[in-house]
Amino acid sequence: MPVLLLAAYATGIVMVRFVAPWNISGLSVTTIFLFLAWALLRHSPWSTLPLLGMLLLAGLTNANHALNRPVQRQHISSFANSQPIAVEARVVFAERRSLGGYRLVADALRVFDKSAAKKTSGKILLHIEQGESRVRPGQIIRWRS
């Protein structure tokens, strides 16, 4: 059974290249239909089919969401290019990695390029390979990347 569940989710991820993205109303109707089918069939041997359909739909939706860039103009991903910029962010999470170094999750606040500072938003995952870090959640950090 767990293999079937994983296969349904993975199939949804693979299908993202072949199926056009659905709008929210189509996803809602399909999810409600699958849930009602599961509720009606939950005591029968066919009860796993709607569940597999929901997992396939979840894989498709999550993969589609991951492949599309955010549409906000000030999102941090819109500043990614070949030129390095300075980024200022507030640390949300910091941990020491077992293999050495640190991993930080930060909320982007501003970017600084040649012309001026610009407000930005979005989460950033930083990996610090070497050295010590005294950064704590809530602190504001700045780096060039």
pLDDT tens digit string along 55-77? Answer: 988 888 888 877 776 667 788 87
Contact 138, 91 (CB under 8 A): yes
Contacts of 70 (CB under 8 A, 6+ apart): 77, 78, 122
Q: What is the mean pLDDT of residues 12-25?
A: 80
pTM: 0.58
Q: Is the pLDDT of residue 1 over 90?
A: no
pLDDT at 101: 83
pLDDT tens digit string along 91-113? Answer: 999 888 878 888 899 999 999 87
**DSSP assignments along 17-69, one per residue:** TTSPPPPHHHHHHHHHHHHHHHHHHTTSTTTHHHHHHHHHHHHHHHHHHHHSP
pLDDT at 83: 80
